[in-house]
């Protein structure tokens, strides 16, 4: 299994979010090619401002593993993470982050704060952006275009 395979799975989760009226972002946590947890954006339906796809996926994985540390895992997400999600990944000790589309306004990996390169965290993770970025961006653009019509 490879990054594109897992990102396809994250895109399927993003479509579930869109079907429920949520911003279409999907995420999953994988270790040794085994799915540990998955999630999609659901702050509206869960009445939870922290229910971003990444957080939901990490909560699911941590419960499955019975451990809040997810060392050696990779988190796949269709959109460049925000500050909250990146911080949670640091605390969970995610080993690697793979994301799809960049998020020019609030993304903190490449677009704004470049948090993976700061030296004050007690954990470092590998980061790769741009995996199936076009598919991720098109899903988001289509979602917002449809909302503007309403």
Positions marked active-site: 54
Tokens of 145: 């275009």
Backbone torsion region of residue 93, taken as left when φ is above 0, otherwise alpha when ψ lies between -120 and 50, otherwise beta = left
Instruction: Note whether 69 and 93 are within 8 A (CB).
Output: yes
Distance of alpha carbon 81 from alpha carbon 104, whole angstroms:
11
Distance of alpha carbon 45 from alpha carbon 146, whole angstroms:
19
Distance of alpha carbon 109 from alpha carbon 2, whole angstroms:
21
With both helix axes pointing from N to C terminus, report the angle between 133-149 and 3-19 in degrees, rounded to the nearest 10.
Answer: 10
């Amino acid at each position: 299994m490879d990054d594109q395979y897992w990102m396809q799975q994250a895109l399927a989760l993003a479509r579930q979010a869109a079907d429920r009226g949520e911003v279409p972002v999907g995420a999953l946590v994988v270790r040794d090619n085994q799915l540990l947890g998955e999630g999609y954006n659901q702050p509206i339906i869960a009445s939870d401002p922290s229910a971003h796809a990444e957080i939901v996926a990490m909560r699911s994985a941590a419960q499955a593993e019975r451990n809040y540390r997810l060392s050696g895992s990779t988190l796949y997400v269709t959109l460049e993470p925000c500050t909250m999600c990146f911080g949670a990944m640091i605390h969970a000790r995610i080993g690697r982050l793979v994301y799809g589309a960049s998020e020019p306004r609030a993304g903190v990996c490449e677009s704004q704060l470049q948090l993976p390169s700061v030296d004050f965290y007690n954990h470092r993770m590998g980061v790769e952006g741009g995996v199936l970025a076009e598919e991720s961006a098109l899903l988001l653009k289509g979602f917002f275009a449809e909302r503007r019509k309403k």
